[in-house]
Amino acid sequence: MFTKKTLTLLLAIFGSSFLFSQVRLSTAFDSGSIGSYRLLDSAWVKRGVNDSILTLSYEIESRFDPLNPIDTALRPSARWYHFKMEGVKDKQLFLSIKNSEVIRPFYSYDGVNYTRLETGENIYKGTINKIFTRDTVYLSHFVPYPYSRNRNKVDQWRVMPNVKHEVIGTSYLGLPIEMLTITDESAKDSDKKRVWIHSRSHPSESPASWHLEAMVDIITSDTPFGKELRKNAIFYVVPFINPDGVMGGFSRSSSTGVNIEINWDRPDSLTMPEIKILKQTLERLTSNAPLDLLLNMHSQISSSVTYWIHTAESTTERFLKEQLLLSSLTINYSPYYRPVDQSFSAVAPRYFEGWIWEKFKERSVAITFETPYTFYNQDRNGTWVSTDNLRELAHSSLYAISDLMNLGREMRILLDNETGKRERNWEVSNDTKNIFFGDTFFISQKEGAKIRVVSPQLERGNYELYRWVVGPADEVFPEDTNVWLKVEEVKLRDSGKIRYRYKSSKKGEKIDSFLLLKRDTL
């Protein structure tokens, strides 16, 4: 048996090779990834008269993706890491992780349940300082959403009522690329809006999958909201468009090194099989009519939620207005998203959205949505991203989609101004410098101008009435504009219609749609 003195001598003789045999690093599991690693230093640190702790310092590099054979000027990414350490119990570990934006990463003792490191355990960016209480620990950039979880969730969803499952193709390595079609089959498809959602083009962006999973759970749920969504829309969901990259633990590429996010405008000889499959599927679904909304789900290093909104210069003012309406509605329902967080770029054919724009122009809204890895609202002292609040964000996303396309027609009733009755003291405007529903909104020509809205036939119950506050279609707008503003609570004692008369507070006030939310039954 070694004494402390003998062990110290052995350390001096054998150095890091002795300690390295005690602590083992591995990535031989789903989404595992690490680059090079080496032991920098080791020492026994005395904490008390009869108490010493072994301290180990490692330098670890996250693994770079393979060189991109198509976009040869694109530098490979090395963001993602997910590795296992064994033999670490009660040792003081100092880890310096290179090539990755590490801010309070996650650890797990079982590879399933992950906890974010405390601020004191990640004082400096790229470092971890912690004593783990179990022999095996997994460390990850964010809570992993591996291929196996997607496989299990798809198996769970596919057997639900109103869900159709199909394998639309296979990846470069032969993994299935799967699509769920979710809708109420008892309702006429011709009356429904159609929504496409896909995710995990970039394998490292696991927050996007947690967000998407929650969205699908809501859409397939037995809740009144879930039923309304299925009754009034068809959802086409492809959870993993890059299964090879996710399983292989890559950062932004497929197993071949290609960033498939920017592979949409390549000739067939340079188009990856995953993109060919998506194109074929989209062409099949749009053979008779375009889709209404297409969401490309991502995660970003910037500490905020955002949509990538395409500029009017690269599209049209009307298309910009529609994107801003979706963005504004999401802001309305989420504390984690603000007008200043919106992002803008020109539409480009190498992206999914550019491919859709070239085919359908204003008839389809295709847009990228980003969730962060770290904290929201650029506020380190605020709420940090978790799987729980990504689920909250999923509700916000679906409320926004519902309002945009009027999907909640019994629970969330959109009353467009086109159905309203007004006096002569209103000017009709279609000025797309503003954010509004449909084709027009009204501008009052005097204070006290009246407009009346009437609901469709409704069940008895308690309702809340909101009006849309029309604001500017700018990159940043005041937070009290482009929002739903509550104007009245209504108790409908018997089935019937709700009638409401609104009076403008000033000349020049802009009035658009109203929203009735059913809160409960009487």
pLDDT computed for residue 21 by the predictor: 46
pLDDT computed for residue 420 by the predictor: 60
Phi/psi for 161 (5° steps) reads -60, 145
pLDDT computed for residue 418 by the predictor: 64
Least confident of 92-96, 309-313, 408-412: 408-412
Give me the DSSP letters along 465-513.
EEEEE-EE-SSS--TTSSSEEEEEEEEE-SSB--EEEEE-SSTT-EEEE
pLDDT computed for residue 6 by the predictor: 42
Q: What is the pTM of this model?
A: 0.94
Task: Grade residue 443 by pLDDT with cuts at 50, 70 and 90.
Answer: very high
Q: Is the pLDDT of residue 12 over 60?
A: no
SS3 197: strand
Domains of the chain and any CATH numbers: 4-140 (2.60.40.3120), 160-405 (3.40.630.10), 412-520 (2.60.120.260)
C-alpha 293/C-alpha 305 separation (Å) is: 19
Q: Is the pLDDT of residue 442 over 80?
A: yes
Residues of the chain with pLDDT > 70, as a percent, come to 95
CA dihedral 272, 278, 284, 285 (to 10 degrees): -170
C-alpha 293/C-alpha 285 separation (Å) is: 13
Give the mean pLDDT of 183-207: 97
> Tens digit of pLDDT for each residue in 294-332?
999 999 999 999 999 999 999 999 999 999 999 999 999
SS3 127: strand
pLDDT computed for residue 494 by the predictor: 94
Mean pLDDT of the chain: 93
Query: What is the three-state SS of 173-185?
Result: CCCEEEEEEECCC
C-alpha 97/C-alpha 80 separation (Å) is: 11
Strands laid side by side in the 37-48 sheet: 37-48, 51-61, 92-98, 127-131
8 Å CB contact between 307 and 326: yes
Query: What is the three-state SS of 316-349?
Result: CHHHHHHHHHHHHHHHHHCCCCCHHHCEEECCCC
Residues of the chain with pLDDT > 90, as a percent, come to 89
Give me the DSSP letters along 207-257.
HHHHHHHHHHHHHTSSSHHHHHHHHHEEEEEES-S-HHHHHTT-SSS-TTS
Q: Is the pLDDT of residue 20 over 90?
A: no
Question: Angle 273-285/352-360 helices, nearest 10 degrees?
Answer: 30
Higher pLDDT, 50 or 389: 389
Closest CA to 356 of 267, 296, 435: 296
> Tens digit of pLDDT for each residue in 373-384?
999 999 999 999
Q: Is the pLDDT of residue 46 over 90?
A: no
C-alpha 226/C-alpha 464 separation (Å) is: 20
pLDDT computed for residue 161 by the predictor: 93
